[in-house]
Amino acid sequence: MFLINCPYCGERDQQEFKAGGEAHIERPKQPTELSDDEWAEYLFMRKNIKGVQFERWNHAHGCRKWFNMVRDTSNDEIKAIYKMGEKPPTQ
Amino acid sequence: MRNKYSVFSLIKNAISYHENWQRAWKDPAPKKEYDAVIVGGGGHGLATAYYLAKKHNIYNIAVVEKGWIGGGNTGRNTTIIRSNYLWDASAGLYDHALKIWEGLSQELNYNVMFSQRGVMNLAHNLQDVRDLKRRTHANRLNGIDAVYLSAEEVKKFCPIINTSPDIRYPVLGGTLQRRAGTARHDAVAWGYARGADAMGVDIIQNCEVKGIKRNGDSVEGIETTKGFIKTKKVGVVAAGHSSVIANMAGLRLPLESKPLQALVSEPVKPIIDTVVMSNAVHAYVSQSDKGELVIGAGTDDYVSYTQKGSHQIVEGTLNAILELYPIFSRMRMLRQWGGIVDICPDASPILSKTSIKGLYFNCGWGTGGFKATPGSGDLFAHTIANDEPHKLNAAFNLNRFVSGDLVDEHGAAAVAH
């Protein structure tokens, strides 16, 4: 449980938010040409990092907007928050 | 030679003030080379080592554990054992484990306190009723005992449940698996450790894996905090940390690690003599032999390795518990904790070879691995020894995420996560 600084609403309790999993997984540009292995990679395989991870979050019980977060999964410390479409910060 | 535990050994040691009990397992330094190394000294890993030695005559094995044995999810779960899963593949897997549980204390000469007190799953809406009836039929076709109970029968079997139609999610019925129950979680790890150690397995605690050495597409050994260990076969049974180990080998897994919480109350006199689980309102409860209510909460929806969880998850579970069991309204909770569970997209485990020769993964048990401990160890040992899966775990391969042949058990995961 932690506080999240929503880029649109400001600091709110984490329970207002929904985690959306790993960020920056690009939707295949040519879905019809994808092999089964590539589909598996896109749909199921995850980095699941212990440490600094890039994620998507949604302010589900607030403004309902999506944004990105950089968070250390080993201690739940939030390193950075940035809007969708913005370049991820370099570490 | 290992002394046998019996009533006579108990009396003999009582006379000497319990000061002369033999060590249950050694504390060896790692050798330079093993025929197989198991990464992870929880129940599943220790069981794997035990069955590799017992059934496949591979004795030169090490189990490496970064903390102490049974200190991870083995010591953090709610100890529920059942096999009432929907699909044939899961029924085969979990009932195989349940059958081993039934004779495990005798086999290990270690009391795992397996108690077949029954597990009841409640239905709170019409879809639950349909799903649970379907699951009951599927179970019976697979030779697994299951009965469907009406709300009155639920009340009769567990009188403290509030079956009033006036509550927010009234109890409409339920299923009961009588062969299901609970066991003592620590005893399972300790029993397997003692059994494996007696056959020559080295259990190496406080030994964290730092890297996996590969030569092309085959495994050569592992780097640990206690030095390099050479081996051609590595079985990874690292639960929530499976992805961390996989990353060391350059593999990707379809897992997300999330905190799952549980809590226990102060001990009270016997009040609930079975296990009751409710998927729709997310509440499950049983009573330990010490008298504590053992309550399982849900997972958080974000990836975390902190072994903590969010407060609102516990709050939600306790709300549901109080509505179903008003009698618990003045109970005080003693302890709460979290474990990190590795969840697969289809809520089924992976017991599989990988694209790297000699590297095997047993993971993805998610929120319900404890029940499968003996079966998982047995089948994983078979997979490692023969470099081929047993027919009971063939469906639980990694390739199912490529082929699409998933084993979707979200419905039978007992509580929605």
Asked if residues A59 and A17 have their Cβ atoms less than 8 Å apart, the reply is: yes
Q: Does A18 touch chain B (CB under 8 A)?
A: yes
Which residues of B sit within 8 Å Cβ distance of A?
241, 243-244, 247, 252-257, 300-306, 308-312, 342, 345, 401-404
Write the CB contacts of A10 (distance below 8 Å, at least 6 apart in sequence).
none
Q: Does A61 touch chain B (CB under 8 A)?
A: no
* pLDDT digits (tens), chain B, 417 positions: 578 999 999 999 999 999 999 999 999 999 999 999 999 999 999 999 999 999 999 999 999 999 999 999 999 999 999 999 999 999 999 999 999 999 999 999 999 999 999 999 999 999 999 999 999 999 999 999 999 999 999 999 999 999 999 999 999 999 999 999 999 999 999 999 999 999 999 999 999 999 999 999 999 999 999 999 999 999 999 999 999 999 999 999 999 999 999 999 999 999 999 999 998 888 899 999 999 999 999 999 999 999 888 999 999 999 999 999 999 999 999 999 999 999 999 999 999 999 999 999 999 999 999 999 999 999 999 999 999 999 999 999 999 999 999 999 987 665 554
Of B300, B303, B402, the CB nearest to A40: B402
Q: Determine the Cα–Cα distance for residues B391 and B186; give it in Å rounded to an integer.
A: 29
Rg (CA), chain A: 15
Q: Determine the Cα–Cα distance for residues B95 and B15; give it in Å rounded to an integer.
A: 42
pLDDT of residue B1: 59
Distance from CA of A9 to the nearest CA of B (A): 21
Asked if residues A49 and A73 have their Cβ atoms less than 8 Å apart, the reply is: yes
- Alpha helices (H) in chain A, listed in sequence order: 36-43
Spatial strand order of the sheet with A52-58 comes to A18-22, A52-58, A66-72, A77-83
Q: Is the pTM of this model over 0.80?
A: yes
- Alpha helices (H) in A14-67, listed in sequence order: 36-43
Angle at Cα B344 formed by Cα B339 and Cα B349, nearest 5°?
Answer: 85
Q: Determine the Cα–Cα distance for residues B156 and B314; give it in Å rounded to an integer.
A: 28
Is A1–B311 a contact, with Cβ atoms under 8 angstroms apart? Answer: yes
A46: domain CATH number is 3.30.2270.10
Which among B384, B396, B51, B387 is positioned nearest to B234, based on CA atoms? B384
Q: Residues B201-210, buried b or exposed e (16+ Cβ, 10 A)?
A: bbbbbebebe
Residues with pLDDT less than 70, chain A: 91
Is A91 a domain residue?
A: no
Q: Crossing angle for the helix pair B373-386 and B43-56, nearest 10 degrees?
A: 50
Residues in A closer than 8 angstroms to B254, CB to CB, are: 40, 44-46
Distance from CA of A6 to the nearest CA of B (A): 16
Residue B219, CA distances (Å) to B51, B128, B242, B248, B382 in order: 22, 47, 17, 12, 19
> How many independent structural domains does chain A possess?
1
Is A19–B301 a contact, with Cβ atoms under 8 angstroms apart? Answer: yes
Is A11 a domain residue?
A: yes
pLDDT of residue B66: 97
Residue B333, CA distances (Å) to B20, B261, B336 in order: 37, 13, 8
Residues in B closer than 8 angstroms to A1, CB to CB, are: 309-312
Q: Crossing angle for the helix pair B373-386 and B185-198, nearest 10 degrees?
A: 30
Closest chain B residue by Cα to residue A45? B254
Residues in A closer than 8 angstroms to B309, CB to CB, are: 1
Which among B395, B383, B390, B392 is positioned nearest to B358, based on CA atoms? B383
Residues in A closer than 8 angstroms to B308, CB to CB, are: 76
Of A41, A46, A76, the CB nearest to B304: A76
Residues recorded for chain B: 417
> What counts of helices (H) and strands (E) characterise chain B?
10, 20
Q: Determine the Cα–Cα distance for residues B245 and B239; give it in Å rounded to an integer.
A: 10
Q: Crossing angle for the helix pair B185-198 and B88-108, nearest 10 degrees?
A: 70
pLDDT of residue B276: 97
Of A21, A45, A50, the CB nearest to B253: A45
Is A90 a domain residue?
A: no
Residue B48, both tokens:
């794997």
Q: Does A3 touch chain B (CB under 8 A)?
A: no
Asked if residues B287 and B266 have their Cβ atoms less than 8 Å apart, the reply is: no
Is A63 a domain residue?
A: yes
Is A49–B312 a contact, with Cβ atoms under 8 angstroms apart? Answer: no
Q: What is the ipTM of this complex?
A: 0.95
Is B243–A53 a contact, with Cβ atoms under 8 angstroms apart? Answer: no
Is A33 a domain residue?
A: no
What one-character DSSP code corresponds to residue B4?
P
What one-character DSSP code corresponds to residue B309?
-
Residue B304, CA distances (Å) to A2, A21, B219, B240 in order: 12, 11, 29, 9
Asked if residues B54 and B377 have their Cβ atoms less than 8 Å apart, the reply is: no
Is A35 a domain residue?
A: no
Is A34 a domain residue?
A: no
Q: Which of A3, A17, A43, A48 to mutate to test the interface with B (most CBs of B within 10 A)?
A: A48
Domain housing A76 = 3-28+40-83
Is A79 a domain residue?
A: yes
